[in-house]
Structure formats: structure tokens, C-alpha cells
Structure 1
Amino acid sequence: MINGFIHLSYWEVSILRTVGILAAVLLPAGTFVYLFLFKMVSFMQSRLGPMEAGPFGSMQLLAEVGKFLQKEDIVPERADKRLFKFAPYLVVGTVLLVYLAVPFGPDMIFADLPGGVFYILAVSSISSLGVLMAGWSSANKYALIGGLRAAGQLIAYELPMVLAVIGVVIQAGTMNLSGIVAAQASGSIFGLDFFGNPYLLTQFVAFAIFMISVQAELGQTPFDMPIAESELVTGYITEYSGLRFLLFFIGEFASAGAFAAVAATLFLGGWTVPAAWTDLNSNWFNLLGPLIMLTKMMVLAGLIFFVRFTFPRFREDQLQKLAWTVLIPISLVNILATTILKVAF
């Protein structure tokens, strides 16, 4: 301890960062499962959902995890065993990498990268390799078709997602996520800085495109072609059981949390409130920032799961047509308009 401050060694800081990332991944994922998968869809369908395990079924998720951990880990005889076993870890690992560059407070960031936006868009696409790997290595035709569908879908919707983010980068003038958050907190609209300048207002077209692309990247309805139960059993995870099936399940909801965190950072000001309200450099925001961020993530995740439980599934041709003939042209027009307005004003 020096001058009243505790100075930690490199390995102690590394351990704390690792624990922090795991908490950032698992806590939102578990919250999403309980609030949205167990409860919100139940109320939408006029039923109670899980009620027995813990108060109002709050321990049901732990019961589900315990059940899957006890199940036998089966590997098909003709499967490529190494790739089959590695695929779910690659998908979950991708989520951990995304959280590395997302700021949760003035000092609550694991890697403050100058090109944070580029890094997140790059590592988020790695999950498509894990999905394709799972489908191909399973030695199952349904799994292979699901993996190929997932790869084609992820490739198609990566482009509109990237183009949507470019509008934010142009307006903020930086690819650093902390810089984008600061630009929204300290910005103004028509000379008024009381509400800052959340890019949801000025980049609402980019926000809509980004959220549609996120829905497709997650494989959520109406973009759930890779795991269409009525056609492909459960697609690329058909042959998985036990722990590895659980990892895919966790990866789905953890990915929803990661994309919600990225969307909150890019369009809702991240962990901040408008700078006109208070001093954002206060150490209090290292405590309040994660709570503000989690609140914004919950709102966006609620939107994602509301769409999942409401809309019917697209056909494969409709899915591809939406990406290539609608979202990409609109996102290019948004980039052009943002560039013109940036130069003019």
C-alpha cells in the first residue's frame, strides 16, 4: 500500500480481470435466461413458467446446469473428435474476447484499444468458425446443413452490421469505444447538452440495421434457420450432449449479452449519463457504471427476445434477400448521409 492506495502485481491484476470478464459474461447470460426465457415468454403465453426451484423459480437455471453436467458426454463414432470437442469452447471463447474491449466505467475496461470497434467486429465473427466446425465434425447431415446455413447467414449479416457501425465511427471521429462513449456523453443536440448526444437519435437507421443484424448473428427467430427444429432437429448442435451442449446454450445467451453491451456502447452512451448531469471521472462511476450499463443491456436484450418470441421464421431466400437487397443498400445510404452532414456541420 502506497499513499493509501493498494498497488497490485501484474498477476493479481490479471486474475481480477479474468474474474471480471467471467462475471460480465455469466451474470447477464443467467439474468437473460431467467427474465426472458423463463418468465417473459411465459407471461406472453399466459403461463407461469418455472415456479418450484427457489422463489418464483429463480433457482431453475442452476437446476438445469446441474442436470446437463450429470449427463453423459457422447461423441458420435464417425465424428472428428478433436474438432467436435473444441467447437463449443471456440464459440464461448469468442464472447469472452468481445467483452475485453467494452468499457463499463472510467477505469472499468479490460483492454482500452485504439481500434476497439475494429477488434470487436473482427473477433465476433470467429463464432461462425465454431458453428461451422460443430456442424461439419458431427458426421450428421442435419448438423452439416445447419452449420452451412449458419455460416452463410453470419457472412450475409456481418456486412450490414459493419456498415451500420461505420456511421457511428464517422460521427464520433474515433474507433476507440471509450472515445465513442465520451463523445455521446459530452455531445449536444441543437446546442442543448442536457441529454448529451446518444447516437440512437442521430444514427437511428444504423441502430435498426445493427439490431436486425444482431438478431441474425445470434440465430434468433425470425433468423433461426440454422437450428430450425421442424427441419433440422437442432441443427449444428444435434449431436451434442452434456457439458458441450450446455456451453452452446450459455454461448447463445452470453452472445446476446455481448452484442447488447456493444449496441449500448455505440448507440446509448454505454456506462455514462450525460456529462451535464455530473462529473463522469468520479470514482463512483466505477461502481455505478456497470449498473447503468447492465440496465441498458437489459433493455436491448428485452427487445431481442421480444422479437424472438413474436415473429415467425423467414425462408432461407427471404433471409438472404433482406440482407443483400435491403439492409446493405440502406446502410450505404446512411454512411453517405452521415459523411455529408459531418462535413457540413
Structure 2
Amino acid sequence: MVFLILSVIVAIWAERRILGRMQTRPGPNVNGPLGLPQLIADAVKLIMKEDFWLKGAESFIYLLAPIITAFSSFMIYAVIPFGPQVSMFGHSTPLQLTDFPVAILYVLAITGFGVYGIILGGWSTHSTYPLFGAVRSAAQVISYELSMSLSILTVFLASGTMSTSGIVSAQERLWWAVAMIPSFLIYVVSMVGEVNRLPFDLPEAEGELVAGHMVEYSSMKFAWYYLGEYINMFNVSAVCTTLFLGGWRSFILGSFWDGANSGWWPMLWFIIKVWCVMFFMIWTRGTLVRIRYDHFMKLGWKFLIPVSLVWFVLVAIVQGYRAFSGGSTQGLLLVLAAIFLVAMVILLVLPEGRDEEEEAPAAAGESITVPGEEWDAFAGGFPVPPLPGQKLPPSPRARRAAQPAAPVLDAASDVSLATAATDLDVTAQEGTDD
């Protein structure tokens, strides 16, 4: 817990500084050296800020939701191995809190349990935008958990165990990120969608849902959500390091330095790898823009999940061949991964055909809008964006700008108008006197 809390403090500061450099601005640099005391100011502000309660909210669930999010985020690191067997205060112990044969299934279970904090937080407020954000987040997390789970299953097959320490031991000769690069790439995309980071931060889209499910939270209740979000970033980074990047083992240094993978040094390699994955997520936030929600869901359901299933079947066939022949299949996996990666790239860049929804009106005999013809967006009773080839009518401002200007009167006309106005005034005055 101490490691995670301190890591979150450093991550917030590092993200601000890195994003500042990427966007050619300084970032926090005023409050103390390098802006480090700014983090203390932010923490004090969250603690001392007014903690309001909604009158119409479900009080117990309203308070319980952020606690669930923070509580579940702290539980993942219990099965993450930091290093090998070491001597600590006279006792020989591995640098891991606990491990058991289905440790990765425990990680997936806790990840699924953490979604309840988001869903209940949005529902308990009885407010519109938090509910929309919670629904979005539930659909997003469930969708990308499927592709993430399928990518992890291939690691189970290749390692022959679900124990985290066993998976690290299986990567002594070669990291699974190299031998099974399709699984690694699918996991990286899925983990970014799992923790709601750009370009996949749809549940907290400021321009649409105003911070999503956290709109009606303040002070420490908001801080629990904020803390849970950053701890989840470290969670997915640690799982990625353990499953695909060799865990605490140093593949390069271990080839010429016998003590690289013994003692306390492996803990340093593990932390460096975790921070490399964290830097990647910060890099994507400073580089990519938010994508559209339907495109995001299409990426998960129509690309990642089918590709994960096909790759899982191929790895299962290779492992069955290994069990039958009794030899090593890492070379075969490398060749198969390279071929499959090329197929993934081709499938991703190929242009898609016309959607069935666009062809439906023609099949049903309905009228089709002629390209360039003005189209009524409110014909169905609610606003609908135009399809390709349809043209919206000009706005009232554009119509006024297109109207011919009023004629300009010359000096003689001005005199005639002034004389007529004077006659009208005199006539009105005489009528009043009578």
C-alpha cells in the first residue's frame, strides 16, 4: 500500500511534467523545486474541500461506491512478484505477498469487481450525466475485459501455469512479448481501454458527460476515485510486466551478469519495467485524441475479440503439438506470431465495405436522398446527423447573409422622406388640437 500511494504521487507529478514537455509548456514548476510541493497542495485541497451530499441520492451506496473502487484497486498487487527469494530481517522470503495456482484468475475477478464502484457511483446519485458515464464505463470495461482475458489465456497455455511466479519463471529464456506479440499488442490496447485513458476515456469525456460518473462527488469521495484510477494504471502495468515482459527478470543484464537476477536487484528491474509501461500510457494521452464511442466499441467487438479467439486457437494447436512431440515450440511460436501479426495489420488497414444499415433503405424500397439535396434532420422527430452525400439546409444566419442588401437611398430620397415625416407630425398635432 505504501508503494502504491507513493507511486501515485510520483505518477501525477511525472505525468504533468511529461505532458508539459510534449505540449511545449513547462508544467508545474512554481511551488517549490520542480513543482513537487504542488502535489501536497492538491492533496490538502481535496481533504479540506467542502464535502457536499446530494439530497436525492442513495446515501449508503453513494458513499460505498468510491470505497469499492479504491479497495479493489489495492488488492491486485498482492499476487504480483517483485523479486526472487531474499533475506529480510533475518528471514528468507520471496518478494511477493502471496501466490496460488490461479493467481491471474484472482486478478481478473478483482478487476471485474471494481466495475461495481463505477456503476453504483453513477446510479446512486440519481442524476443524468453520472448515470450515462456509468453505463458507458460498464460497457467499455466489460467489452475490453473479454479481449484482455483472451490474450492472457494464451500466456496460460504457453507457460503451463496460472501462477504469477510460475509465469515469470517460464520467461527465463524468452519474454512472451516477443514469442507471442499478437497477445501482447491486444493486451496493451485492452489495458488502455480498461483504465479509461486517452484515447479511450469515453466514460469521462469532458465535452459530453462532464467527468462521467464522478460529476456529483467532491472532496475525499472524489479523491478515492482519483486514487483508484491511477492505482489501476499501476495494476495493468504490473500485470503486463509479469505476463509479457519477464517480470522481475532482466533478460539482457542476466546474459552477462550472474547476479542480475538475484538479491534485491530484480526489484529495481521490475519497477523500471512498470514505469516504462506507465510512460507509454502517458505518451498516448499526450499524442492521441479521443475516438468516437461507436468506433471504440467496433474495435473491441469486431476486431480485438475475433483476432484474440483465432490466436488462442492457434496457440492451443501449437501447445498440443508440443505435448505430442515433447520438443520446444518457441521457434514455431515466433514464426506463427510474425505471420499472424502481418495478417492483423492487413486486416486493420483494409477499407471496410458499406454498412448494411446504409443499404437497408434501398432494399426496402424507401426513398434515397440525392447527393447535394437538402435534407430535413428532424423528419423522424429527433435530430439525426446527415449521412455521406446528404446536405443540411443552411442555417438562419446563413440565409440572412445570402439575402440581398436593402437599397441605398440618395440625398433626394432623404429629403423626400424628411418632408413626409414632417407633414405626418403636423397632421397628428392638428388632430390632437381639434
Q: TM-score, normalised by structure 2?
A: 0.69
Per the alignment, residue 278 of structure 1 pairs with 258
**Superposed counterparts of 1:249-260, under 5 Å:** 249-260=226-237
Alpha-carbon offset, residue 280 of structure 1:
7.3
Cα deviations by residue, 1:238-263 (Å, 9 ceiling, x for unpaired): 01100111111111111101110010
Deviation readout 1:74-131 (Å, 9 max, x if unpaired): 1111111111111111111111111111111120111112111111111111111100
Give the drift of 1:297: 0.6
Q: TM (normalized to structure 1)?
A: 0.87
Q: Give the 3-state SS of the residue equivalent to 1:331 in structure 2.
A: helix
- Aligned-partner residue type, residue 135 of structure 2: L
* Alpha-carbon separation, structure 1, partners of 2:224 and 2:115: 15
Name the counterpart of 1:10.
none
Question: What are the equivalent positions in structure 2 for 1:1-345 lying under 5 Å apart?
Answer: 22-36=1-15, 38-106=16-84, 107-185=94-172, 196-274=173-251, 276=255, 277-278=257-258, 282=262, 284=263, 287-344=264-321, 345=329
Indicate if the aligned counterparts of 1:24 and 1:99 stay in contact, CA closer than 8 A. Answer: no
User: 2: CA distance between counterparts of 1:279 and 1:289?
Assistant: 9
What's the C-alpha RMSD, in Å, of the aligned pairs? 1.4
User: What whole-Å deviation, never above 9, does each CA across 1:44-69 have from its counterpart, x for those lacking one?
Assistant: 11110111223111222121111110
- Deviation, 1:279, is 5.6
Deviations 1:151-180 (A, max 9, x none): 011111110000000111111110000000
Residue type at the aligned position of 2:228: G
Inter-partner Cα distance in structure 2 for 1:270 and 1:319: 30
* Whole-angstrom distance in 2 between the partners of 1:266 and 1:229: 34
Residue equivalent to 2:345: none
C-alpha distance in 2 between matches for 1:51 and 1:281: 38
Contact 1:223 1:314 in 2 (8 A): yes
| CA gap 1:279/1:171 in 2 versus in 1, 3 angstroms | farther
Q: Partner residue of 1:8? A: none
CA shift at 1:288, angstroms?
A: 2.3
Partner of 1:13: none
Which runs of 5 or more residues in structure 2 are unaligned? 85-93, 322-328, 330-434
Measured in 2, the distance between the counterparts of 1:271 and 1:55 equals 33
Contact between 1:132 and 1:147, CA under 8 Å: does it hold in 2?
A: yes
* Percent identity of paired positions between Structure 1 and Structure 2: 34
Q: 3-state DSSP class of the match of 1:300?
A: helix
Name the residue aligned to 2:403.
none
CA-CA distance at 1:294 after TM superposition: 1.0
* 1:289 Cα deviation after fit: 2.7
Q: Deviations over 1:180-219 (max 9, x none)?
A: 001102xxxxxxxxxx211110111111111111111111
SS of 1:126 mapped into structure 2: helix
Going from structure 1 to structure 2, the CA distance change for 1:25 and 1:340 (only over 3 Å counts) comes to same
| Aligned 8 A contact 2:199 2:285 in 1 | yes
Q: 2: distance between equivalents of 1:256 and 1:52? A: 27
DSSP 3-state at the match of 2:64 = helix
Q: Is the 8 A contact 1:150 1:226 kept in 2?
A: yes
In the TM superposition, residue 270 of structure 1 has moved relative to its aligned partner by 0.8
Write out the 4+ residue segments of structure 1 that deviate beyond 3 Å after TM superposition: 274-277, 279-282
Q: Is the 8 A contact 2:168 2:246 kept in 1?
A: yes
The answer to whether the 8 Å contact 1:161/1:210 transfers is yes
Q: Is contact 2:23-2:286 (8 Å) kept?
A: no
| Alignment partners' CA distance in 2, 1:222 and 1:136 | 25
- What secondary structure is seen at the aligned counterpart in 1 of 2:95? coil
CA contact (8 A) 1:25 1:258 kept: no
Point out where structure 1 has 5 or more consecutive residues left out of the alignment: 1-21, 186-195
Cα separation, 1, equivalents of 2:258 and 2:310? 36
Tell me the distance in 2 between the aligned counterparts of 1:280 and 1:337: 35
Counterpart residue type for residue 128 of structure 1: V
Give the CA deviation at 1:281.
7.4
Return the letter of the residue paired with 1:64: D
Helix, strand or coil at the partner of 1:74: coil
Q: Distance in 2 between matches of 1:146 and 1:79?
A: 16
Aligned counterparts of 2:268 and 2:50: Cα–Cα separation in 1: 38
SS of 1:134's equivalent?
Answer: helix
Aligned residues: 310
Work out the CA distance in 2 between the residues paired with 1:169 and 1:54: 48
